[in-house]
Chains A and B, each alone.
Chain A
Amino acid sequence: MELIYAAAIGVLAGSGVWLILRPRTFQVIMGLTLVSYAVNLFIFGMGRLTVGRPPIVDASVAPDPAALADPLPQALVLTAIVIGFATTALFLVVLLASRGLTGTDHVDGRESES
């Protein structure tokens, strides 16, 4: 499971970085989205990959740390998703405004001379 998980993060991050370095704004935003997926998965993975362990303590029985997943990375990842989503949405608006104002989807606001 670890190998698949790590490979998925690697592929997402790699594709994301390549896309971010492209000159078209749409490619950049897709790249940012892919990188944000990779980062979110990475945060989640840092809580260690476990199966069948809830992150919530049952008040009726004495808590056993070995049977519980670490809840903190899950809380972090929720926050990161929300913030990443909001800022990416904002970026999308700016992207559209830039397209409308400059008439091109190049990140510099003008076509390169080649």
Chain B
Amino acid sequence: MIDWLQHAPIYPIAVPLIAGAAMLLLADTRRGTRAAIALASCLAQLAAAIALLALAAGAGGVWPDGIGVYLPGDWPAPFGIVLVVDRLAAIMLGLTAVLGLASLIYSLARWDRLGVHFHSLFQFLLMGLNGAFLTGDLFNLFVFFEVLLAASYGLLLHGSGVARVSAGLQYIAVNLVASFLLLISIALIYGVAGTLNLADLAVRAGTLRGSERLLFEAGAAVLGLAFLVKAGAWPLNFWLVRGYGSASAPVAAVFSVMTKVGIYALLRIGSLLLPTGAPAAFSLDWMFAAGLATLVFGAIGLLATQQLEQLVGYCVIISAGTLLTALGMPGVTLTGPALFYLLSSVLTTGAFFMLVELIERTRTFGANVLAVTMDMFDLDDPETPNRSDDVVGVAIPAAMAFLGLAFVACALLVTGLPPLSGFVAKFSLLSAAVTAANASLQPADAWILVAVVLASGLAGIVAFGRAGIRIFWSADERSTPRLRVSEAGPVAVLILLCVGLAAGAGPVSAYLDDAARALDQPAQYIDAVLSARTARPLESH
């Protein structure tokens, strides 16, 4: 009898891998079977993520200190591959599973039929995301990054068209270069430290001296650079808005968790390296400065842009900027609220990307561009086969009312106005910052954070107010679209989840604060990984 719970950490990787591979074997015509497999896989991942969340909180006493270590090859830690689950990893897994399921249901309405192998690529993307959150060593982090990127290249091009292909070209080029940076840094770090296991690396980094330490710092700086590219930090994020904006809606929705992989990697490795003196890019000053610049860039972009998809793209950038700024503050007080903000903002941007596509259906071409701009560039209505309105299936009533309410909810969530979870997130973030300022850790930094976060919120209010007025009030040539339950449903569920986050803010924050405290004590993580026991006793020679 296999102890199923003992193998729980491998499910989020194995399930989408097997499901994705199995769907490759099915003929393209068997859509029902494919959709069923994809749905089953996503539900299984959600179940696994919930189980891991409970286990990491100490349920059942399987992992008493909240850190589960899984040895896939049954070799002890510094030599073999390890998967590590702690609260932070479990939270990210849960977030990915929820967003993945919502996007998948949305895509079943019609997006999955626009190209080949949508479901397989989607599962591989989820596998890469889950793997990147779980892995305990640097090279596997690279491999899972590549898995998720390779899948994302395919998904970005899904549906084809000039805009997607030329945006995809730039997206792929930038990410290939970032991957090379990652490889260079991994090689450098291995060259001096002699290990790629994160826990072992945290120990050995402290023993490096002189020129070796310098080389290690250089390697870590390149590593941080690669992660900042993925996280969408200014000035490494010019690929993001165009790439995400031109992706098909369900793909863009699931992409909104992808930038958070970079943040997660920075947070994880930064927390492990901090006790021995964090190298540049993982050090707080750099993250703080990069975060501020990203926030300002995102806010300006929000005000400048007119297309809804790009508006949401800038929201992703603002979210990354806020997170980097908050994580760049010293101490652990801001980490918990930052994680809450991460949850809320990912769910929101995910819902928003899908909502935008529904809203776009109401308008005739060009309504989103100023009339002057249209004349200037002599734009014509291109063929838009992706936006046909021939809806089959159950439509929901009061479509316009739903779209309007959902838009208002998303705008409130993004800008952080009450009463939804965006407000709770920003309020706890700002109150923690003010507390830090009063404790005179770095008062200037804390006040700068408060000011810039508030200003970016104001920019958001202006931008969304303008967009909302243009879309819903000054509508002349608008048709009321017919929305299917399977399209409106996921958007509604994601927004309701944000409502739930706000309602259950107490227990959720408590969990996140625990995760933040665990990050502040990397010794526990290191001990857990390095003392992990193999299933079979090692033979001694």
Contacts and interface: CB of A to CB of B under 8 A. Distances in A.
B436 to A, nearest CB: 40
Interface in A24-71: 25, 28, 32, 35-36, 39, 42-43, 45-47
Contacts of A102: 162, 165-166
A94 B169 CA distance: 6
B139 A94 contact: no
Contacts of A15: none
B162 A109 contact: yes
Given A79-B143, A83-B146, A86-B150, A43 B187 contact: yes
Contact of A98 (B165, B176, B180, B184): B165
Contacts of A76: 139, 186-187, 190
**Most-contacted residue by chain A among B139, B146, B166, B177 (CB, 10 A):** B166
B187 A42 contact: yes
Contact of A87 (B143, B161, B172): B172
A18 B251 CA distance: 33
B418 interface: no
Interface residues of B, number: 30
Contacts of B170: 107
Interface in A59-114: 72-73, 76, 79-80, 83-84, 86-88, 90-91, 94-95, 97-98, 101-102, 107-109
A94 B150 contact: no
A73 to B, nearest CB: 7
Given A87-B153, A101-B165, A20 B172 contact: no
B172 A90 contact: yes
Interface in B139-178: 139, 143, 146, 149-150, 153-154, 157, 160-162, 165-166, 168-170, 172-173, 176-177
Nearest to A41: B187
B529 interface: no
Contact of B166 (A32, A79, A83, A109): A109
Interface residues of A, number: 33
Contact of B173 (A28, A39, A84, A86): A28
Contacts of A36: 180
Nearest to B190: A46
A35 B180 contact: yes
Nearest to A100: B165
B444 to A, nearest CB: 38
A73 B195 CA distance: 11
Given A36-B180, A39-B180, A97 B165 contact: yes
Contacts of B177: 20, 32, 35
**Most-contacted residue by chain A among B153, B165, B188 (CB, 10 A):** B165
A28 B150 CA distance: 18
Nearest to B150: A87
A79 B141 CA distance: 13
B331 interface: no
A73 B153 CA distance: 27
Contacts of A87: 146, 149-150, 153, 172, 176, 179
Given A39-B183, A39-B184, A94-B157, A101 B172 contact: no
A70 B168 CA distance: 38
B58 to A, nearest CB: 36
Contacts of B184: 39, 42
B188 A46 contact: yes
A42 B166 CA distance: 31
Interface of B: 139, 143, 146, 149-150, 153-154, 157, 160-162, 165-166, 168-170, 172-173, 176-177, 179-180, 183-184, 186-188, 190-191, 196
8 contacts: A32-B176, A39-B184, A42-B184, A73-B190, A83-B143, A87-B146, A94-B165, A102-B162
Given A39-B180, A87-B153, 6 more contacts: A39-B183, A86-B150, A90-B172, A97-B165, A98-B166, A101-B162
